[in-house]
Amino acid sequence: MKTQLFFSFFCLLGIPLFGQAHALQIVPGAENQLAAKINNPAIVKPATATSLAGRGNWFNLELDSHILTDQVNFRQIVAVLLDLDNQDTVFDGEKSKLGGKVVSRTNNEAIMDIVSVTPAPLGLKITTNYRASAKVIINTDTRMAHELRQIPSDNESNTKIKNFLSIRYVEEVTVNGNKYVYLRLYGTEDLNTSILPNAKNILERNSGPAYEEALLLIIEAAKKR
């Protein structure tokens, strides 16, 4: 059993409730836009770090990235996203490392202890621990959505991260007669940046490339499924 796994592209960051519904679909017009640069990740909108009023050094960070690929099929991507016990072998890039220790399971939910290691200036790394619920919220022959959400008790007591929620969305699509797989990572979280000077600029500058790398890491892992 993995004793500890790491998650560094800002944790597939949590999503506010108004954003969750938008994450459960293809970004409008994305198929044709991404088909012009197949297998290349793109940011849906620039990373945004927003200072949270009345909460000192806390920022909300929101990200959204996607890709269209013909290198793997839908089921291969799904297999990677649902293999919670081996996430460390998937997200082991230069900018992003992800994992979690599964502490309990039911038929439709796993509770995971996650450790995030976030790159910082001067070669520093910021380590954050949290507990989250993982579950599938859409599962059809051509669409799957996986949710990772910080559990309420951890959300209340955690002094480094709150309101974590992530959506990983994958769909089989056909564009101009060709079959592709669309993959989207979308999320936000609230972060305590008390030990990170110039936090807004650093978060916004580093998060996008890390999310793009994460998309490519998923595809590379799927090739082996």
pLDDT tens digits, residue range 51-82? 998 888 999 999 999 999 999 999 999 999 99
What tens digit of pLDDT does each residue of 167-202 get?
999 999 999 999 999 999 988 899 998 877 788 888
Q: What is the pLDDT of residue 187?
A: 84
d(CA 134, CA 113): 11
What tens digit of pLDDT does each residue of 89-143 get?
888 878 877 778 999 999 889 999 998 776 666 666 777 889 999 999 999 999 9
Q: What angle do CA 44, 48, 36 make, to 5 degrees?
A: 15
Domains and CATH numbers, the chain: 6-222 (3.30.530.20)
166, 161, 158, 19 alpha-carbon torsion, rounded to 10°: -40
Q: Running DSSP on this structure, what letter comes out for residue 26?
A: P
